[in-house]
Amino acid sequence: MKELIKKLTETYGPSGREERIREVIKGEIEGLADEMRVDVMGNLIALKRGSSPPAPPKLGGRGRKVMLAAHMDEIGIIVTHVDEKGFLRFARVGGVRPLALVGGRAVFADGTVGTFGLEKREPEEAKKVPGFDKLYLDVGAKDKESAPVGVGDIAGFQRPFAAQGDRLMAKSLDDRVGCAVLIQVMRDLESSPHDVYFVFSVQEEVGLRGAITSTYGIQPDLGISVDVTITGDTPEARTMAVSLGEGPAVKVKDGGMLAHPAVKNLLVETAEELGIPYQLEVLAGGTTDAMAIQVSRAGVPAGCLSIPCRYVHTPTEMVDHNDVLNAVKLFVALLSKPIELG
């Protein structure tokens, strides 16, 4: 899956500008789905029809309508001002951190590349993390008129994919690695008793917006998001029982939701049946598309399978390839059998 992850992570697609990454994903899943459509928000929705009739309400054993969601947008910046010398001021799109920007590069949809610079600061300010008002983007323009981009243009980070053995490094692993999991599950899933909707959602980083509308339209019986989660295995990291290479993490709780106990148990039991390593995730802050799925309409039993990821929301994130492969195995096994929610 490394080549697939490389292709996805190196594709442009900040929140609200997902057209290019959506076309790449469409090309990867062409011929794998019975139906494929793009909704008004821009979500890419692919359906693999099940072999069993729908289960009666509150009963298991036959086919269900299952939704798997991974967001295809990435964090970025949006230009708010161009000064007379051609330097760009900007605001963040999603959870961008100033400390991760200085010296890095950003790329716009038209290919324009810029580097992040930092204003000169007084000695007493130099020890503090700079705010966005102290940062600018230099696209090499000589003046305002020659700047190739302007107010309202959106850029994502520019950083190539790299693999050090099983450790994969790239920008936008949040959540292109989740998209890669869904694509591989579509490839490996030979048959299922369930109607499985694979949703590549938009605008997750700015408010779970694509998941809200797609869930409302699909009305699933069960929903699971695939996203990344932070780890507790780096020096001076916050205490958290998630590490790279120890298996995908089954979410128990995050800052926006409590996973449905039956969905959490379904993931755990499936992993244990197959001997797939897994971890349990309790995340203090942040959330995923699973929150939007859970509270859609009258409510949906929802959970999340997370890929452990170091340095989330920076230009270089890191995951372990084995965690990704095991996430795929878990989903293929889960979707290949009847689902009892208790």
User: 284-298, pLDDT tens digit by residue?
Assistant: 999 999 999 999 999
What's the CA gap between 200 and 203, in Å, rounded? 10
Domain boundary among the residues 111, 127, 157 is at 157
* Count: domains in the chain: 2
Say what the pLDDT of residue 91 is: 96
pLDDT at 175 over 80: yes
Note whether 43 and 19 are same-domain residues: yes
Mean predicted confidence (pLDDT) in 132-156: 96
Domain contains 342: no
Domain contains 116: yes
Marked catalytic residue, from 18, 28, 74, 204? 204
Q: Which of 13-27, 82-96, 112-126 has the lowest mean pLDDT?
A: 112-126
Q: Which of 242, 273, 287 is nearest to 336 (CA)?
A: 273
Say what the pLDDT of residue 54 is: 67
pLDDT at 259 over 90: yes
Domain contains 128: yes
pLDDT band at 59 (very low <50, low <70, confident <90, very high): very low
Note whether 55 and 150 are same-domain residues: no
Note whether 191 and 62 are same-domain residues: yes
Partnered with residue 35 across adjacent β-strands are 47
Neighbour-count burial of 299, counting CB atoms closer than 10 A to its CB (0-12 exposed, 13-18 middle, 19+ buried): exposed
Mean predicted confidence (pLDDT) in 177-185: 98
Note whether 209 and 319 are same-domain residues: yes
Confirm whether 204 is a catalytic residue: yes
pLDDT at 166 over 90: yes
Angle, helices 261-274/321-335, rounded to nearest 10 degrees: 110
Q: Give the structural domain span for 141.
A: 76-157
What's the CA gap between 261 and 154, in Å, rounded? 39
**What is the percent of the chain where pLDDT is above 90?**
88
Partnered with residue 251 across adjacent β-strands are 281
Q: How many residues does the chain have?
A: 342
Mean predicted confidence (pLDDT) in 145-169: 96
Domain contains 164: no
**What is the percent of the chain where pLDDT is above 70?**
96
Note whether 125 and 269 are same-domain residues: no
Note whether 59 and 116 are same-domain residues: no
Domain boundary among the residues 134, 157, 180 is at 157
Mean predicted confidence (pLDDT) in 313-318: 95
pLDDT band at 342 (very low <50, low <70, confident <90, very high): low
- pTM equals 0.94
pLDDT at 62 over 60: no
- Sheet containing strand 249-253, strands side by side: 35-38, 44-48, 195-201, 65-71, 222-229, 302-308, 249-253, 279-282
Note whether 211 and 111 are same-domain residues: no
pLDDT band at 253 (very low <50, low <70, confident <90, very high): very high
Note whether 80 and 58 are same-domain residues: no
Say what the pLDDT of residue 129 is: 83
Domain contains 298: yes
Alpha helices in the chain (DSSP H): 2-9, 19-29, 123-126, 173-188, 209-218, 261-274, 289-294, 321-335
Note whether 150 and 177 are same-domain residues: no
Domain contains 165: no
Mean predicted confidence (pLDDT) in 42-53: 91
Note whether 15 and 112 are same-domain residues: no
Note whether 262 and 306 are same-domain residues: yes
Note whether 21 and 152 are same-domain residues: no
pLDDT at 107 over 80: yes
Say what the pLDDT of residue 130 is: 85
pLDDT at 190 over 60: yes
CATH code where residue 111 lies? 2.40.30.40
Mean predicted confidence (pLDDT) in 67-80: 98
Domain boundary among the residues 126, 157, 188 is at 157
Chain-wide mean pLDDT for the chain?
Answer: 94
CATH code where residue 14 lies? 3.40.630.10
Q: What DSSP element (H or E) covers 168?
A: strand 167-170
Domain contains 227: yes
Domain contains 340: no
Say what the pLDDT of residue 60 is: 52
